[in-house]
């Protein structure tokens, strides 16, 4: 059973998370959060001191850059190697961990869990992403969402939640999908289904197009069909679903919006991390 | 490419389906629908004549009883063996086909497709099932659904669609699920999530409990927690999710509602069959 | 302040109401409910005994037929005159009271309040009426409501609530209204607005037409435009919104559904009576 | 019948409006829009030339400041007196017209119509105001709206539309109202009703409070009950519903958001103006 938790690095979400974990009576030790003074916390002098006796270690999201752990509130850098050495034999939960780090960790008998890959965390984060997209859509257009035609490309987690919210605001929502089952779900939820083969001939209808597909769907040929005064929002990570050169060329308003949950609603993101950790804790019991 | 379709047996849904297929200019021949006079159709004198030159054969849902093909509109019986013999080497689409019939068909080089197992058909049918459940719920209670506490057991296809509709009517919807991901989706869609471990202690809250889980969840112990004036509706096929003996013993109002789509909305069911067939036709092209 | 309540006559809703009033510690005396044995209650031997010392008298909904108070659970009749004589100088709350009874009551210094005319009660009852209409619509059609085109005539209380619920189930809802403001609200709530002048040319689009307007809107000329396999539900009281002769002539399926709240959800209706009484009690304090 | 329309002054909404009126084949003359070059239009040299033969004159929203007509795109000022002199005997439609101007206009036989006071325009504008409020709410909080407790003060036009949208996004919406009928409607629409007398004891529950009531509701005493990390948005015009001094004193995040429709969605606002003008034109026929 998890009793002592070591927290290393992290941003404002991590600080909110610590508050919640302390309410649940876990024993917390931290390192790499020295510059945070919003809440009192047990700050250790060394990494070793921090991980000593910990049942689980919680690292940042994203875990690291090329060399160092993410520590915006820390007053010294923590090398990836240093972290791995200290975490030897333990369970580590962090987010967006590079594949090679996973492998290094394995060699040191570290059980590394990427929270960002947990399905339930991804579903919950889709809520925050959808709200961020709605804020952008209201801000960047001179029309209401209500009564307007909005196309969502892709019917995965973000597509599903966003479609529901936009319909809830009163937009006329169409969703593009490839699989027959997704098309059936789109009908069941009351959106207009657009099959991939019919995409091009339908593009001219939409005032706002929001992409959630992680590869380029809107090339020159497609962009030529889009209304000149439409807004395209891309929520997919690199390379995204829209040809950047061509969208600029076409003169269509374009917003590439990444990592919305941490920006739009860090407190809720921390709650979602907490809920996911609760599940992880139960599983590692 | 599919041009000629042979239709054998079937109920009112099949007749509606024939109307739609004729609108799409398919060449139709039928057998086992002799007593239907609502629409004109090409009725063959023999099974052999009917399947002659057909690119695909459409059989009934459900396909058969112990011995015969389902032919409520036919004026003579068609033995399963007879059907298989006639269909040799062809593609057959029907519904709820027994496993042993699949095997016999295989021996005769028949490609047998069970439409009821098609995911998109099952999703669309969930819409009809949900509406049927709503009708029962309004009819069998002396309270409004609006403002009432309703628990759905299981968050599969029917659970998802039913939860959305009940929320749309204004009920306070809770959904029970086991998987963390389902719990996350239940939150995302704005229902109250109930984890299986917490089910028993929550059961007393609900005026209506609707089961969609295909094994017994509500045993004596659980039923004792349910309100005496609650309504339980079971949508799961045999054995269902409710211990029949115990629910009677407990004196709780109970409705076991099976095969709702065909009963509640045969015309829409036919449309869903048509949409699924369109997909099957594309795949067999 | 209301302490002692006298209940005279009434149906199953009245009995539920008594349960709720007793929970609130009111002192209750009853007359004309002799045959009820579902809950224990203080049954008086005479009308005079029942009203003695009462701060308020609650009568039935509807209040009476031509001669007698409505007492389905009573074992003797109570004449209107007899009631008025006994209630002299008191406050009486009942429902659907005839105008001439109001006047007679006034002469006896009775303050007569018609609960059915209270705006908040009418709004709440619209919820029950809407659910009843939905049950009928599911039952009487062979198509799903989901995805279907439904027209509501009139955008008053029932129109508003019904439109919301039908949209919540997934129907494509159009609402007919005359006033510019109603048309604006219909747009704001995301339904298709149909102005009265455009009604005739739009009627052919709908699978289900539900009338809430209390005068005949659908005459022969209009009915000729309606789909032959449509369903028309009339929720308006006499004369209703549909020419009965002509709808029969036209061979269109027609259901005239009156007084749904008491039939569909008597328990909820009693709750709504209770909520309205709470408001009346506050006002008479 | 309206054929020739004279447009005097106005902002970007007026320009969009001209586009729509020209599509409808009205003959347009303009004055006070000299600096606009986004669309071609018939620009007159003098006010007199512009109004000559016009069936109706459309002025700006708001109509004027202390002395001059609102002409952000004009290259000279137009005095109120000058406008009134020129409009003698005509119908003028403009917005937010001061009472004394109405009276002056009357003396010159001008029929002055304030579009902002048209009920249908106000309803439609509520849609834009609600979207603007949602954008602010997402932006100014570090939590999601989804799953959060939001209180709306007042259940008028903006309150109704905003409540629906916030519920559509997945927020838990409570609405405060005074009238019994409004409380009934709040229940019917599925929000939590808060009666004014119960407001103070409930204020601590909400993460976001949005006021739509045009007089001060939240004084010191009320603000002391509000969560320290809540967000208060005031949508009511001067004096608004929140004591400005006290909210600052209390250290609660506060946004006073006025005139959102023109800012958030000028194009849709122009469409709403057009729809309202269509109604006015019909009435003046």
What are the angstrom distances between the C-alpha of D84 and each of D48, D100, D134, D151?
11, 12, 40, 45
Quote the pLDDT of residue D285: 64
User: Are the Cβ atoms of B144 and C127 closer than 8 angstroms?
Assistant: yes
Quote the pLDDT of residue B284: 80
Residues of chain C with pLDDT under 50: none
Q: Kindly report the nearest CA distance between residue D263 and chain A, in angstroms.
A: 8
Quote the pLDDT of residue B237: 87
Question: Distance between CA atoms of C14 and C31, rounded to whole angstroms?
Answer: 12
Q: Which residue of D has its CA nearest to B190?
A: D170
Is D17 part of the contact surface with chain A (CB cutoff 8 Å)? no
Nearest CA to B57 out of B126, B108, B122 is that of: B108
Is C177 part of the contact surface with chain B (CB cutoff 8 Å)? no
User: Are the Cβ atoms of B121 and A189 closer than 8 angstroms?
Assistant: no
Nearest CA to D32 out of D49, D44, D18 is that of: D44
Residue-wise pLDDT tens digits, B167-182: 999 999 999 999 999 9
Lookup result for tokens 């009308």 = C47
Quote the pLDDT of residue C271: 97
Quote the pLDDT of residue B285: 64
| Sign of the alpha-carbon torsion through C68, C70, C76, C82 | negative
Contacts by D118-121 with C-beta closer than 8 Å and gap 24+? D118/C180, D118/D276, D118/D279, D118/D280, D119/C180, D119/C181, D119/C184, D120/C180, D120/C181, D120/C183, D120/C184, D120/D275, D120/D276, D120/D279, D121/C184, D121/D272, D121/D273, D121/D276
DSSP class of D196: G
User: Are the Cβ atoms of C127 and D188 closer than 8 angstroms?
Assistant: yes
Three-class secondary structure of residue C179 per DSSP: coil
CB D58 within 8 A of CB D33: no
Three-class secondary structure of residue C59 per DSSP: coil
Q: Kindly report the nearest CA distance between residue B206 and chain A, in angstroms.
A: 25
For strand C208-211 and strand C149-153, is the pairing parallel, antiparallel, or unpaired? parallel
Q: Kindly report the nearest CA distance between residue C278 and chain A, in angstroms.
A: 34
Residues of chain A with Cβ-Cβ distance to D268 below 8 Å are 142-144, 147
Report the interhelical angle of A157-169 vs A119-140 (nearest 10°): 40
Residue-wise pLDDT tens digits, D117-149: 999 999 999 999 999 999 999 999 999 999 999
Question: Distance between CA atoms of A108 and A85, rounded to whole angstroms?
Answer: 8
Residues of chain B with Cβ-Cβ distance to D187 below 8 Å are 147
DSSP class of A218: B
- Please enumerate in sequence order all residues whose Cβ is within 8 A of that of D40, keeping only pairs 6 or more positions apart, or say none: none
User: Are the Cβ atoms of B120 and A189 closer than 8 angstroms?
Assistant: no
Out of B127, B164, B265, whose CB is closest to C142? B265
Quote the pLDDT of residue A204: 98
| Sign of the alpha-carbon torsion through B62, B66, B69, B71 | negative
- Look up the ipTM and state it: 0.93
Contacts by B14-17 with C-beta closer than 8 Å and gap 24+? B14/B58, B14/B60, B14/B73, B14/B270, B15/B39, B15/B73, B15/B270, B16/B266, B16/B267, B16/B270, B16/B271, B17/B58, B17/B270, B17/B273, B17/B274, B17/B277
Question: Distance between CA atoms of C142 and B272, rounded to whole angstroms?
Answer: 13
Lookup result for tokens 């809520």 = A127
Q: Which residue of D has its CA nearest to B172?
A: D190
Nearest CA to D210 out of D161, D251, D250 is that of: D161
Quote the pLDDT of residue D284: 80
Q: Which residue of C has its CA nearest to B162?
A: C169
Out of C123, C188, C276, whose CB is closest to D126? C188
Is C267 part of the contact surface with chain D (CB cutoff 8 Å)? no
DSSP class of A191: P
Is C184 part of the contact surface with chain A (CB cutoff 8 Å)? no
Which chains does chain A touch, 3 or more C-beta pairs < 8 A? B, C, D
Question: Distance between CA atoms of B15 and B33, rounded to whole angstroms?
Answer: 8
Residues of chain C with Cβ-Cβ distance to B134 below 8 Å are 134-135, 138, 169
Count Cα neighbours of C3 within 13 Å in the Cβ-side half-sphere: 3
User: Are the Cβ atoms of A188 and B123 closer than 8 angstroms?
Assistant: yes
**How many percent of chain A have pLDDT more than 70?**
100
Is D144 part of the contact surface with chain B (CB cutoff 8 Å)? no
Is D266 part of the contact surface with chain A (CB cutoff 8 Å)? yes
Secondary structure element (H or E) that encloses residue C149, with its range = strand C149-153
Contacts by C113-117 with C-beta closer than 8 Å and gap 24+? C113/C280, C115/C61, C115/C273, C115/C276, C115/C277, C115/C280, C116/C61, C116/C62
Is D147 part of the contact surface with chain B (CB cutoff 8 Å)? yes
Question: Distance between CA atoms of D210 and D212, rounded to whole angstroms?
Answer: 7
| Sign of the alpha-carbon torsion through A82, A84, A85, A91 | positive
Residues of chain D with Cβ-Cβ distance to C127 below 8 Å are 187-188
Q: Which residue of A has its CA nearest to C192?
A: A147
Residue-wise pLDDT tens digits, A143-167: 999 999 999 999 999 999 999 999 9
Which chains does chain D touch, 3 or more C-beta pairs < 8 A? A, B, C
DSSP string, B163-215: HHHHHHHT-EEEEEESSHHHHHHHHHTTPEEEEGGGHHHHGGG-SEEEE--SS
- Please enumerate in sequence order all residues whose Cβ is within 8 A of that of A128, keeping only pairs 6 or more positions apart, or say none: A260, A261, A264, A265, A268, A269, A272, D144
Q: Kindly report the nearest CA distance between residue D118 and chain C, in angstroms.
A: 9
Residues of chain C with Cβ-Cβ distance to B142 below 8 Å are 265-268
Residues of chain C with Cβ-Cβ distance to A187 below 8 Å are 147
CA angle B196, B202, B207 (to 5 degrees): 120
Out of C131, C146, C268, whose CB is closest to B131? C146
CB D202 within 8 A of CB C144: no
Three-class secondary structure of residue D266 per DSSP: helix
- Probe site for chain B from C142, C160, C228, C231 (most B CB atoms < 10 A): C142
b/e map A230-245, b = 16+ CB within 10 Å: bbbbbbbeeebbbbee
Question: Distance between CA atoms of C12 and C23, rounded to whole angstroms?
Answer: 17
- Please enumerate in sequence order all residues whose Cβ is within 8 A of that of D261, keeping only pairs 6 or more positions apart, or say none: D125, D128, D129, D132, D268, D269, D272
Residues of chain A with Cβ-Cβ distance to C146 below 8 Å are 188, 190
Question: Distance between CA atoms of A164 and C52, rounded to whole angstroms?
Answer: 58
Quote the pLDDT of residue C76: 87
CB A256 within 8 A of CB A234: yes
User: Are the Cβ atoms of B121 and A161 closer than 8 angstroms?
Assistant: no
Structure tokens at A47: 């990494």
CB D68 within 8 A of CB D109: no
- Probe site for chain D from B164, B190, B193 (most D CB atoms < 10 A): B190
Question: Distance between CA atoms of D285 and D271, rounded to whole angstroms?
Answer: 21
Nearest CA to C152 out of C272, C90, C233, C85 is that of: C233
| CA D211 to mean position of chain CA atoms | 15
Residue-level length of chain B: 285
Secondary structure element (H or E) that encloses residue A163, with its range = helix A157-169
Bridge partners, residue B254, by sequence: B232
Secondary structure element (H or E) that encloses residue A260, with its range = helix A260-264
Residue-wise pLDDT tens digits, D159-195: 999 999 999 999 999 999 999 999 999 999 999 999 9
- Probe site for chain B from A129, A183, A188 (most B CB atoms < 10 A): A188
Quote the pLDDT of residue A284: 80
Residues of chain B with pLDDT under 70: 285
Q: Kindly report the nearest CA distance between residue A120 and chain B, in angstroms.
A: 4
Lookup result for tokens 């510059």 = A35
b/e map C94-124, b = 16+ CB within 10 Å: bbebeeebeeebeeeebebbbbbebebbbbb
Q: Kindly report the nearest CA distance between residue B233 and chain D, in angstroms.
A: 24
Environment class of D241 (CB within 10 Å of its CB; exposed 0-12, middle 13-18, buried 19+): buried
Is A251 part of the contact surface with chain C (CB cutoff 8 Å)? no
Residues of chain D with Cβ-Cβ distance to B147 below 8 Å are 187, 190
Out of C170, C187, C188, whose CB is closest to A190? C170
Residue-wise pLDDT tens digits, A242-251: 999 999 999 9
Is B39 part of the contact surface with chain C (CB cutoff 8 Å)? no
Nearest CA to A4 out of A60, A63, A44 is that of: A44
- The arithmetic mean of pLDDT across residues A253-262, rounded, is 94
CB A16 within 8 A of CB A67: no
Question: Distance between CA atoms of B220 and B242, rounded to whole angstroms?
Answer: 9
Three-class secondary structure of residue D192 per DSSP: strand
DSSP string, D145-164: STT-EEEEE--SHHHHHHHH
For strand A253-256 and strand B27-31, is the pairing parallel, antiparallel, or unpaired? unpaired
Structure tokens at D73: 């795109």
pLDDT in single tens digits along all 285 residues of chain D: 899 999 999 999 999 999 999 999 999 999 999 999 888 899 999 999 999 999 999 999 999 999 999 999 999 899 999 999 999 999 999 999 999 999 999 999 999 999 999 999 999 999 999 999 999 999 999 999 999 999 999 999 999 999 999 999 999 999 999 999 999 999 999 999 999 999 999 999 999 999 999 999 999 999 999 999 999 999 998 889 999 999 999 999 999 999 899 899 999 999 999 999 999 999 886
Nearest CA to A168 out of A140, A187, A145 is that of: A145
Residues of chain C with Cβ-Cβ distance to B131 below 8 Å are 138, 144-146, 169
Is C181 part of the contact surface with chain D (CB cutoff 8 Å)? yes
Question: Distance between CA atoms of B232 and D216, rounded to whole angstroms?
Answer: 49
Question: Distance between CA atoms of A279 and A119, rounded to whole angstroms?
Answer: 11
CB C195 within 8 A of CB C179: no
Q: Kindly report the nearest CA distance between residue A192 and chain C, in angstroms.
A: 10
pTM: 0.95
Bridge partners, residue B194, by sequence: B176
Residues of chain C with Cβ-Cβ distance to B264 below 8 Å are 138, 144
Interface list for A 75-134 with B (CB within 8 A): 118-121, 123-124, 126-127
User: Are the Cβ atoms of A120 and B183 closer than 8 angstroms?
Assistant: yes
Structure tokens at C104: 């007679």
CB C6 within 8 A of CB C58: yes
Nearest CA to D29 out of B66, D216, D21 is that of: D21
Residues of chain A with Cβ-Cβ distance to B118 below 8 Å are 180
Residues of chain A with Cβ-Cβ distance to B120 below 8 Å are 180-181, 183-184
Is B141 part of the contact surface with chain C (CB cutoff 8 Å)? yes
Structure tokens at C180: 């510019």
Which chains does chain B touch, 3 or more C-beta pairs < 8 A? A, C, D
């Amino acid at each position: 059973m998890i009793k002592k938790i070591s927290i290393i690095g992290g941003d404002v979400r991590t600080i909110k998370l610590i508050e919640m974990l302390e309410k649940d009576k876990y024993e917390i030790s931290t390192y790499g959060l020295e510059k945070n003074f919003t809440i009192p916390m047990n700050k250790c002098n060394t990494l070793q001191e921090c991980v000593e006796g910990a049942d689980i270690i919680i690292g940042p999201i994203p875990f690291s850059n090329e060399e160092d752990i993410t520590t915006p509130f820390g007053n010294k850098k923590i090398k990836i190697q240093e972290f791995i050495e200290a975490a030897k034999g333990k369970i580590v939960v962090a987010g967006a961990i590079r594949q090679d780090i996973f492998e290094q960790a394995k060699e040191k008998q570290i059980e590394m869990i990427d929270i960002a890959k947990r399905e339930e965390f991804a579903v919950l984060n889709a809520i925050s992403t959808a709200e961020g997209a709605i804020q952008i859509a209201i801000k960047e257009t001179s029309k209401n969402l209500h009564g307007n035609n909005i196309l969502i490309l892709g019917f995965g987690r973000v597509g599903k939640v966003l479609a529901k919210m936009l319909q809830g605001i009163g937009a006329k929502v169409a969703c593009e999908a490839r699989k027959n089952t997704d098309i059936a779900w789109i009908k069941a939820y009351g959106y207009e289904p657009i099959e991939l083969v019919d995409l091009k001939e339908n593009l001219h209808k939409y005032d706002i197009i929001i992409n959630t597909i992680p590869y380029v769907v809107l090339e020159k040929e497609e962009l030529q069909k889009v209304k000149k005064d439409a807004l395209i929002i891309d929520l997919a990570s690199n390379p995204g679903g829209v040809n950047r050169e061509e969208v600029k060329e076409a003169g269509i308003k374009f917003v590439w919006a990444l990592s919305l949950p941490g920006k739009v609603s860090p407190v809720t993101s921390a709650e979602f991390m907490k809920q996911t950790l609760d599940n992880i804790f139960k599983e590692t019991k």
